């Protein structure tokens, strides 16, 4: 009985740990959304407030649900887009409605239909332009929505201006709640995520290189297949990180000054580093293919090049880790002066063995691209 | 004067051609959105209709703006998600509102606040589970929104059931307009796009291989730099196509039977083919790196391996193109019986030269992975 109890408790603590290490952020985010929703529902629940805003409180709830994103930057970008889209759409809609009001009943309907069609078509086309799509897609959508609602109901409600003002103020309230909750309670910065990701990529690539070496010189034992998959997947995740990186960098641009990042922080540099790391990942994957090729020499003939390969590979891995570390801690890599000559001598080491195997050739390219990468980082 | 006129006409026709070849789809889509918006605005503009639906016509407009996506599959997925989210959220919201109605004024508010918090938190957590996020993200968001609106306004409006029914029917109207316009007028199928993309990837890789050969053996003249960039970018676009492919395949699953695609068409196979093509692209990029390496032999010594390399490379490219063609036209590649032995003999050809250069080694891996790919496609 106590045994079972202990097992149960252990199970619970494991679950708790997993949740806490892996999912904490998600749980915190969920709770934040819950709090924001309750706060914004108070507009309905508290009588004096409801008398002020009326049914327009709906728009505050809608704003919170739609705008509250995981990353602070994503939320700010969506909220600002929504705000500007609403204002511009509302203003143009009012203009069109006033213009249409002067004509007769039929003329009015025709003007409204034409303006709905033309603005809708143009704005939709606008939405699909890549540079607009990347940053302002949501804003343009809200513009279309608001414009249509305003111009169409302008026919019905004479108080369209008042309506627009009220809606805007409730949207503002909703957004204020979002900002308050999202930025003040455990904010999740997209910039932190991008920063950590970039640093962890170096580590992933370093362990991939080590994994390749281990596999080639037959050091790995036990469940080789499994280990093999682990470092391969690390490499592949680096290779396919492009779209994640881009959206994170996009969000980061919207985030205000915080923590260790200043205003006008060079987010583009992270994308460049990512690009170079992806190239390195390509080379490592190809090296992987070489190793698995059926035409590799026997184990004994591999041993002859083992030493120099390991020196090169391990110091490459070590350097990568150091670079990752220095990016994480944002210090000018002190090792810079040490590394460049080291890389040169490594290259010469490899040159001696150059004619032996294609493996070397590969790794040397790794070194070269690594030099590129290095200059890039130092530049920052 | 006539000269100028002709120039002007020529300019216009060029613009027309560019628009028509590249942007036609976008323009058509924009016009479709415009038409749908006008149709749905008729709910406001035509008096008898407006008397029936009232202010709820707003929801129809909102549905059209939000749901009308470029690809038919994306639209269906969003619309169905929205519908189900609204129904489930509305039903649960009604239940909670009725439950809360039995208690006193204060108890009511407390129950509403608690249910808003708990459902909001749980559903938000649910949204972040990867498998849910991929397909039902939007539905869960709409669920949260509807639940909140219903449960909160249940306190105010006694006619919450009627309200829900009306809103649902207007959302249905909006969705019907979307389906009508999107599927009947020049539908854009995500499945067609995925199909064509997969086929064009083969062509891109084929021309990358040819480009590599040309560059290595110094055949390319003129603006080499430019050409070089073209085939490299083709290869890179294949490498980074993962996320596009995945979303297209996801949309394709929602699309009904149409054209050449049956129900239960194996969209997963396209993703597998894409994965293998990305591996091939990795190898080609690494080969590219080899070629650019500063340690390559002089032009004259390259000529000794030129013939066999060109035979291999060009026939590889030809096979890739044939495969792309056969996928595009969906015929069982008749050439299958011919290819397998051909690849074997190519490999032997290369083996003769094996000790000369790493270039061969690379390409051979290409051949091997190509065999993988080949069996995969034949399997389909």
Q: Which helix (H) or strand (E) holds B249?
A: helix B242-254
By C-alpha distance, which of B75, B35, B66 is closest to A116? B35
Report the 10 Å Cβ neighbour count for B72.
23
Given a contact cutoff of 8 angstroms between Cβ atoms, the answer to whether B154 and B109 are in contact is no
Torsion of CA B22, B27, B28, B31, to 10 degrees: 180
A368 touches chain B (CB under 8 A): yes
ipTM of the complex: 0.76
Report the 10 Å Cβ neighbour count for A294.
6
Considering chain A, what is the average pLDDT of its residues? 72
* B residues 176-215 closer than 8 Å to A (CB): none
B163 touches chain A (CB under 8 A): no
Per-residue pLDDT in tens (0 to 9) along chain B, 380 residues: 455 566 656 656 655 555 555 577 888 888 888 888 888 888 777 777 777 777 777 888 888 888 888 888 888 888 888 888 888 888 888 888 778 777 777 777 888 888 888 888 888 888 888 777 778 888 898 899 888 888 887 655 556 667 777 778 888 888 888 888 888 887 778 777 777 777 777 777 777 777 777 776 665 555 555 556 666 777 777 777 788 888 888 888 777 776 666 666 667 777 777 777 777 777 777 666 666 655 555 566 566 666 666 666 677 777 777 767 766 666 555 545 455 555 555 555 554 444 334 444 444 444 444 444 444 444 44
Contacts of A213 (CB under 8 A, 6+ apart): A219, A309, A310, A313, A314
Model confidence, pTM? 0.77
Q: Do B148 and A124 touch (CB under 8 A)?
A: no
Encoding tokens for residue B127? 């949204």
Interface with chain B: mutation pick from A78, A188, A358, highest number of B CBs within 10 Å: A358
Residue A364: its pLDDT value, please?
Answer: 47
Closest chain B CA to residue A129: B26
Average pLDDT over residues A285-311: 62
Quote the CA–CA distance of A188 and A245 in Å, as a whole number.
16
Q: What is the pLDDT of residues A101-139, one digit of tens each?
A: 777 777 778 888 888 888 888 888 888 887 777 788 888
* pLDDT above 80 for A206: no
Closest chain B CA to residue A62: B145
Q: Do A361 and B285 touch (CB under 8 A)?
A: no
Instruction: Give me the DSSP letters along B30-90.
Output: HHHHHHHHHHHHHHHHSHHHHHHHGGGHHHHHHHHHHH--SSHHHHHHHHHHHHHHHHHHH
Our CA-based measurement puts residue B147 at a distance from the nearest CA of chain A, in whole angstroms, of 11
Q: Do B361 and A295 touch (CB under 8 A)?
A: yes
Quote the CA–CA distance of A141 and A114 in Å, as a whole number.
19
* B residues 110-139 closer than 8 Å to A (CB): 112-113, 116-118, 120-122, 124-125, 128
Stronger pLDDT, B1 or A72, i.e. the higher one: A72
B95 touches chain A (CB under 8 A): no
Quote the CA–CA distance of B243 and B246 in Å, as a whole number.
5
Across the interface, of B61, B290, B365, the residue whose CB is closest to A148 is B61
Quote the CA–CA distance of B359 and B215 in Å, as a whole number.
13
């Amino acid at each position: 009985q106590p045994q079972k109890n202990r097992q149960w408790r252990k199970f619970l603590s494991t679950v708790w740990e997993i949740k806490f290490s892996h999912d904490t952020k998600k749980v915190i985010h969920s709770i934040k959304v819950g709090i924001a929703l309750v706060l914004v529902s108070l507009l309905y629940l508290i009588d004096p407030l409801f008398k002020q805003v009326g049914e327009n409180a709906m728009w505050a709830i809608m704003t919170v649900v739609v705008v509250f994103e995981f990353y602070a930057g994503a939320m700010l970008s969506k909220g600002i887009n929504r705000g500007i889209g609403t204002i511009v759409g509302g203003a143009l809609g009012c203009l069109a409605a006033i213009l249409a009001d002067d004509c007769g009943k039929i003329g009015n309907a025709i003007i409204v239909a034409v303006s709905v069609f033309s603005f809708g078509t143009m704005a939709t086309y606008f939405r699909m332009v890549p540079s607009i799509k990347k940053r302002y897609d949501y804003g343009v959508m809200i513009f279309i929505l608001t414009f249509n609602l305003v111009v169409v109901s302008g026919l019905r409600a004479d108080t369209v201006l008042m309506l627009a003002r009220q809606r805007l103020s409730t949207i503002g309230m909703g957004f204020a709640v979002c900002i308050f909750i999202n930025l003040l309670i455990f904010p999740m910065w997209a910039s932190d995520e991008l920063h950590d990701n970039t640093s962890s990529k170096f580590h992933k690539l370093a362990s991939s290189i080590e994994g390749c070496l281990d596999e080639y010189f037959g050091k790995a034992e036990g469940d080789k297949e499994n280990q093999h998959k682990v470092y391969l997947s690390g490499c592949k995740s680096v290779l396919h990180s492009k779209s994640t990186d881009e959206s994170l960098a996009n969000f980061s641009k919207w985030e205000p000054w915080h923590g260790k990042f200043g205003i006008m922080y060079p987010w583009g540099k992270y994308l460049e580093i990512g690009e170079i790391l992806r190239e390195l990942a390509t080379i490592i994957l190809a090296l992987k293919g070489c190793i698995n090729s059926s035409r590799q020499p026997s184990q004994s003939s591999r041993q002859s090049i083992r030493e120099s390969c390991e020196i090169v590979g391990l110091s490459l891995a070590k350097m990568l880790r150091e670079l990752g570390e220095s990016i994480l801690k944002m210090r000018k890599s002190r090792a810079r002066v040490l590394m460049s000559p080291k890389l040169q001598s490594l290259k010469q080491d490899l040159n001696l063995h150059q004619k032996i195997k294609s493996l070397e050739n590969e790794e040397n390219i790794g070194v070269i691209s690594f030099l590129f990468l290095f200059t890039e980082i130092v530049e920052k």
